[in-house]
């Protein structure tokens, strides 16, 4: 099968790789129908984490073959698969939170050689009963792809920010995850959402979606937020970038008693957490990897009823064979790109 392979710093190629094989009796082999590129893939694309990885953790597919112990799915079923999986057997995995697997077997598709990713024609899915969902009738393929990672992530970012009706929210980042967080935040009834980014096209889209946008390109995002909130800041702050700067700024924008909810990936062990400020302002800090399957029972009805309409996040639809170009424009934020959908048929 063909797969998108990381072959060097800022280089991916579509290569012929070995066909996936059944990953044990509780696994499946699936044929990929559509797959998307994520901001998290760019962390790998930027290099330093080894090459040879088959990328991709956001994919929707048709089951080709299941192992002998699989109960919920069979060949021919259309399923979406959580981008993050775990052992599939512990209580936490079974409650849909593989990011906190008690057996320490949390794994992200397409981030290491041990779990090849879904930007490919076909892929192996371990523990499929726990980490996949049959695609409900009427759900678009775009919404299905978004349910594999970024919609759950954005939704959890908003939910964990504890937004009260009438509250002011600040959101850092209007990338694809930020847009999911913006649309999710609106479900909780805030009076205002201030959204911070530094790309003109992303700010314009945030304004279209109902946010008051703040351009951070001058480096004074916090001052602008404080000015817009009469010096108070916001009771709920969502961080969907992951840079040291934006995490710091998010904390600095929280009003006394406020909550800062981080879903941007920041793995800096030396991150300078402002303990004194957090103590004096009684802040709550939340950070999480998306508990993807646990959000499906909430998000599927919201998509089904049209209360959430995230599909417009896809700005580009390309063939899998065009992945090198897709990564390049997504990384350089060229061509107004927000989210790229790849079709493995071409
Ligand atoms: N927690 C999870 O489970 C999870 C899941 C998926 C993605 N993520 C993470 O979420 C983050 C966002 O993902 P994405 O796909 O939207 O990525 P992205 O890179 O497309 O979006 C980041 C946005 O932040 C903006 N930005 C960068 N620096 C800024 C600054 N200093 N001030 C203001 N804005 C700034 C960029 O212009 C961009 O629009 C990434 O860190 C990604 O790894 C986390
Ligand atoms: Zn992702
Ligand atoms: Zn587990």
Q: How far is ligand 1, taken at its centre, from the CA of residue 244, in Å?
A: 12
Give pLDDT tens digits for 158-168.
999 999 999 99
Model pLDDT, residue 49? 78
Model pLDDT, residue 296? 98
Quote the pTM value: 0.96
CB-side exposure of 182: number of CA atoms within 13 Å? 29
CB-side exposure of 257: number of CA atoms within 13 Å? 5
b (16+ CB within 10 A) / e for 11-25? ebebeebeebebbee
Identify the nearest ligand to the CA of 56 by its number.
2
Q: Which atom of ligand 1 is nearest to the CA of 330?
A: 20
Model pLDDT, residue 48? 79
Model pLDDT, residue 203? 97
Q: How far is ligand 1, taken at its centre, from the CA of residue 75, in Å?
A: 36
Is residue 38 within 6 Å of ligand 1 at its C-beta?
Answer: yes
Model pLDDT, residue 290? 83
Model pLDDT, residue 47? 86
Model pLDDT, residue 210? 97
Residues of the chain with pLDDT under 70: none
Instruction: Look at residue 110 and give its three-state secondary structure.
Output: coil
């Amino acid at each position: 099968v063909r797969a998108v392979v990381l072959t060097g710093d800022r280089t991916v190629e579509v290569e012929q790789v070995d066909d996936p094989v059944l990953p044990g009796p509780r696994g499946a082999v699936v044929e990929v129908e559509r797959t998307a590129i994520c901001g998290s893939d760019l962390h790998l694309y930027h290099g330093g984490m080894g090459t040879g990885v088959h990328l991709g953790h956001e994919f929707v597919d048709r089951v080709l073959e299941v192992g002998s112990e699989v109960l919920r799915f069979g060949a021919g079923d259309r399923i979406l698969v959580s981008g993050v999986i775990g052992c599939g057997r512990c209580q936490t995995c079974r409650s849909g939170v593989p990011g906190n697997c008690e057996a320490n077997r949390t794994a992200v598709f397409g981030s290491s050689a041990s779990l090849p990713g879904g930007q490919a024609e076909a892929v192996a899915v371990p523990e499929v009963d726990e980490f996949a969902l049959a695609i409900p009738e009427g759900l678009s393929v775009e919404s299905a792809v978004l349910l594999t990672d970024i919609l759950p992530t954005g939704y959890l970012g908003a939910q964990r920010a504890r937004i009260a009706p009438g509250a002011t929210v600040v959101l850092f980042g209007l990338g694809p995850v930020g847009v999911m967080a913006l649309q999710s935040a609106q479900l909780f009834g805030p009076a205002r959402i201030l959204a911070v980014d530094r790309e003109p096209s992303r700010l314009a889209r945030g304004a279209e979606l109902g946010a008051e946008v703040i351009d951070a390109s001058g480096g004074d995002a916090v001052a602008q937020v404080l000015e817009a909130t009469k010096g108070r800041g916001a009771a709920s702050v969502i961080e969907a970038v992951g840079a040291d700067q934006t995490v710091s700024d998010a904390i600095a924008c929280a009003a006394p008693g406020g909550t800062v909810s981080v879903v941007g990936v920041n793995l800096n062990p030396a991150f300078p957490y402002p303990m004194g400020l957090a103590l004096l302002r009684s802040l709550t800090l939340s950070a999480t990897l998306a508990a993807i399957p646990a959000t499906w029972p909430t998000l599927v009805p919201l998509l089904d009823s049209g209360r959430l309409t995230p599909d417009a996040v896809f700005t580009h639809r390309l063939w899998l064979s065009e992945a090198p170009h897709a990564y390049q424009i997504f990384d350089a934020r060229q061509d107004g790109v927000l989210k790229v959908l790849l079709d493995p048929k071409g």
